[in-house]
Amino acid sequence: MSSSSLKVVPQPVRRQVEDGLRAAIISGRFLPGDHLPDRMLCETFGTSRSVVREAVRLLEAEGLVVVHPNRGPFVAILSEEDATDIYEVRAALEALAGEGFALRATDEQRATLRAVYQELCDARADTPREALLDIKQRFYEILTAGSGNALATRMLGQLLIRNSQLRATSLSSPDRLPETVEEIGQVIDAIEKRDPVATGAACRAHVRAAAAVAIRILRERSSAA
């Protein structure tokens, strides 16, 4: 095959489709179990089949998409058992990151984390779920970066992608936002005291509370199906 017959797709295009598809799954535009045929995705994102398939492969590796032989890609369905496993590992990693942040974060990182937390405090019941998820994502990016543990940062980052559907599920509960603000506030208070033990405990408590809400909703959906 000659080089002139090869179509080179710029990386930014692939990244845009990948990010767009991930956001559509996290926000609930594409629901668990939804079929994601090539033609529909090409029309949705205005790009070629090869770009769409590459994005699907990347999200399959993240656990957000499953590809069934002879049927194609579908949005992954998380079971109650999957959610329990994810939250258990997330609690351990998030506590480790919080402990590291309390010990090693710079003054600038602490100030930035407080500023993002204030955005969460300012959110209202009608704040779009996508905006809330963006705030939480930035909070975790700062927390892990300031932890000084590159391995924990990488592992938690990968897990939070897998956990994104569950975070959206827990935030769908009308009472969850004020609870989240209070729980994250406990994390911030412990960080400002530079207390790694209390920070780790507050991180674990937050994750366990989110897990309880998400698993309850998953159980209710399963019973109603």
93-123 pLDDT, tens digit per residue, is: 999 999 999 999 999 999 999 999 999 999 9
Question: For residue 50, what pLDDT is reported?
Answer: 92
In one-letter notation, the amino acid at residue 10 is P
Residues 112 and 63 in one domain: no
Does 79 score more than 70 pLDDT? yes
Please tell me the distance from the alpha carbon of residue 9 to that of residue 205, in angstroms, as a whole number: 45
In this prediction, residues 209-221 reach a mean pLDDT of 87
What's the total number of domains in the chain?
2
What is the phi/psi pair of residue 217, to 5°?
-65, -40
Q: Residue 219 has what pLDDT?
A: 85
The predicted structure's pLDDT at residue 1: 43
Residues 102 and 188 grouped into a single domain: yes
**pTM of this prediction exceeds 0.75:** yes
Q: How far apart are CA 144 and CA 178, in angstroms?
A: 23
Buried b (16+ CB within 10 A) or exposed e, 51-70: bbbbbbebbeeebbbeeeee
Structural domain containing residue 117: 80-224
- Domain match, 70 and 164 both: no
